[in-house]
Amino acid sequence: MSVARVTEISAVSEEGFEDAINQAIARATKTLRNVEGAWVKDRNVMVEDGEIKGYKVNLEVTFVLEDDS
């Protein structure tokens, strides 16, 4: 048997959505062990003075819990 947790994170990138996703995964794998994957839940574009200021993604990240945690 294995038990995992699902946690939601969001990330904003100035480059684009795929960059935001990659950054969010990099951040998640730095602090969480055994990340298995992530589901892309939402995407937003942030605009200021008529210019795109950021691409924001919300991800639901799944990571397996270890036995003695």
Q: How far is the CB of 19 from a copy of itself (least distance, A)?
A: 8
Minimum Å distance from CB 23 to a copy of itself?
A: 5
Residue 14 CB, shortest distance to a copy of itself, in Å, is 7
Pair of tokens at residue 23: 């950054």
Q: Please, is 25 exposed, middle or buried when counting C-beta atoms within 10 Å of its C-beta (0-12, 13-18, 19+)? A: middle
The reply on whether position 66 binds a copy of itself by CB under 8 A is no
Cβ-contact 9, 28 below 8 angstroms: yes
Q: Does 37 bind a copy of itself (CB under 8 A)?
A: yes
